Amino acid sequence: MIAYPRLEREANLSRCEWCGCLGSRESWKDMNTMDDSLPHDNADLLNRIQSEWWVLLETMASLDERQLALAGEGQWTVKDHLAHLAAWEDYLLRHHFQGYPSEVVLETGRAAIESFDENVMNAVLQERNRHLTIQEITRRLEIAHAQVMAVLAEKEFDELLKPDPTDDIVSRPLLESIVYNTYEHYQEHLKTIRKIICIPC
């Protein structure tokens, strides 16, 4: 099992009845029915992000090397899914908050960004990051997450409701980009990870 620092948190945790992975009872129960409503203020946003972040960390801490190497549909391993989360939270930080061009952050050509073939971009990121160790992935994810939370703590909620000036695809509020690249993204991939690690049990 991967060693992580002890996580100090009051949580209603249970183990998956099929494979024993950790998760909050409420998050496991609601994993198939994500809340489509947007946060109504900064405190609500930060609470949603941090709540799902702790579930993600607890799940990561419960995985052993065998489980990290298990693959699901598309041949993505559990480790690939975690690296994917790290890459896109870093994208939120560097592109949406710091203003770096998408092609710089993702290290792709401009043509790939303009076509915005998400499957192609995700495949490129998966191939690029598959050599990373779980410790390296965890470190990248923790750094990006801490910086994202620090930025959000300084922002007024009204700022997040304005159109995202860095959005390359559609004009949508910055808040939506934040939600899609934090807690909703964690939920989406945790659901897939739990399916993967339960398959062989």
Question: Rounded to two decimals, what is the model's pTM?
Answer: 0.79
Instruction: Tell me the C-alpha distance between 67 and 146, whole Å.
Output: 26
Query: Which residue intervals of 4-117 are DSSP H helices?
Result: 25-29, 42-62, 65-69, 78-91, 102-106, 110-115
**Phi and psi angles of residue 162, each rounded to the nearest 5 degrees, phi first:** -80, 155
Instruction: Tell me the C-alpha distance between 154 and 42, whole Å.
Output: 10
pLDDT tens sequence for the chain (201 residues): 334 333 334 344 444 443 444 444 344 334 443 456 899 999 999 999 999 999 999 999 999 999 999 998 778 999 999 999 999 999 999 999 999 988 889 887 776 676 667 787 888 899 999 999 999 999 999 999 999 999 999 999 999 999 988 865 567 899 999 999 999 999 999 999 999 988 444
Strand, helix or coil at 23? strand
Q: What's the Cα-to-Cα distance from 32 to each of 26, 80, 195, rounded to whole Å?
A: 11, 21, 12
Contact 70, 200 (CB under 8 A): yes
According to DSSP, the residues that pair with 14 across neighbouring strands are 23
Spans of all domains in the chain: 74-201
